[in-house]
Amino acid sequence: MSETYTPPKVWTWDKENGGKFASTNRPIAGATHEKVLPVGEHPLQLYSLATPNGVKVTVMLEELLAAGHKGAEYDAYLIRIGNGDQFGSGFVEINPNSKIPALLDRSTPTPTRVFESGAILLYLANKFGAFLPKDPHKHTEALNWLFWQMGSAPYLGGGFGHFYAYAPEKFEYPINRFAMETKRQMDVLDRHLADNQFMAGDEYSIADMAIWPWYGTLALGKIYDDSGTFLDVQSYKHVQRWTAEIAARPAVKRGRVVNRVSGPESEQLEERHSAADIDALGL
Ligand SMILES: N[C@@H](CCC(=O)N[C@@H](CS)C(=O)NCC(=O)O)C(=O)O
């Protein structure tokens, strides 16, 4: 138990004691096996899974396509992180950090690898000149909130979500600490969204696409068991208004099903190679 634990002088790896992700978590980086990644016909190759970090990118790609950017056509291949696909040699070449999502742009003179979901959103926004306001003030505001998400969500996911839903036991101290921080973050969003339609003001941007899959899903009560009740997410009225508005966007409905292999079957699409793959679900 944590109250009686005294850290040894030097930490060693106890393979049995990692909770739900014990089989994939390791204290070392690099590939565990040789595996060439599949490549489709489109300029953009995405290797991902429909977790909140993965959904950010498929929503952006679907938004770009909906806005008429044909160069945003993509093949989305499934990376099963529970099976350790992120440690295959081909994946590690694209993302040395072994985390989804990872993107390869084959339309550049030499292929461009992009990893970290925030970097991918920014890369695509710059490449297509879309979903990042041009006005300098709004542009900076979008980046403020994009980077806010990248720094904040690990406390929601790796902190609160891990200890509330995944850790092998319910430990009061970390659940309290991270519930407090998650509620503080929801209040930050709620106050901002009281005065702003979207994160960067009146323009929908990559900041909304980054934040919605995490905090919108939390607001909808669709993540971490009964965390919606535990954190009283209904009380964040402005977050609720923004969450519903974004959830209703056709591109969001399309993007969130790509590389999804859990939940209702009608919302699952293992791989995406054309618009027709998503159309077939009849969303
Ligand atoms: N900061 C990264 C986080 C990515 C991340 O944590 N991905 C998770 C899934 S949501 C993952 O691939 N985990 C596999 C592992 O940790 O081995 C990003 O935003 O892209």
Residue 141: band (very low, low, confident or very high) from pLDDT cuts 50, 70, 90: very high
Q: What is the pLDDT of residues 153-206, one digit of tens each?
A: 999 999 999 999 999 999 999 999 999 999 999 999 999 999 999 999 999 999
- This prediction's pTM: 0.96
User: With left for phi above 0 and alpha for psi between -120 and 50, is residue 29 left, alpha or beta?
Assistant: beta
Give the count of alpha carbons within 13 A of 195, CB side only. Answer: 3
Closest CA to ligand 1's atom 8:
99
> What are the distances in angstroms from CA 182 to CA 29, 30, 171, 175?
29, 32, 17, 10
Distance from the alpha carbon of residue 129 to the mean position of ligand 1, in angstroms: 26
> What are the distances in angstroms from CA 34 to CA 13, 31, 77?
24, 7, 17
Kindly state the tokens that stand for 198.
């979207």
Residue 17: band (very low, low, confident or very high) from pLDDT cuts 50, 70, 90: low
Domain spans of the chain, in order of start: 1-131+250-283, 136-248
Residues contacting ligand 1 via CB (< 6 Å): 24, 51, 53, 81, 86, 98-101, 116-118
Closest CA to ligand 1's atom 1:
116
Q: Which are the contacts of 195, defined by CB distance < 8 A and separation ≥ 6? A: none
Residue 4: band (very low, low, confident or very high) from pLDDT cuts 50, 70, 90: confident
pLDDT at position 1 = 46
Distance from the alpha carbon of residue 136 to the mean position of ligand 1, in angstroms: 31
Please tell me the distance from the alpha carbon of residue 139 to that of residue 129, in angstroms, as a whole number: 12
Asked whether the predicted pLDDT for residue 249 surpasses 80, the reply is yes
Q: What is the pLDDT of residues 113-125, one digit of tens each?
A: 999 999 999 999 9
Q: What is the pLDDT of residues 23-76, one digit of tens each?
A: 788 999 999 999 999 999 999 999 999 999 999 999 999 999 999 999 999 999
- Say if domain 136-248 classifies as CATH 1.20.1050.10: yes
Q: Is the dihedral of CA 200, 204, 206, 209 positive or negative?
A: positive
Mean pLDDT of 207-232: 97
CATH architecture classification, 1-131+250-283: 3-Layer(aba) Sandwich (3.40)
**Which H helix or E strand runs over 101?**
none
Closest CA to ligand 1's atom 5:
99
**Which H helix or E strand runs over 186?**
helix 172-195
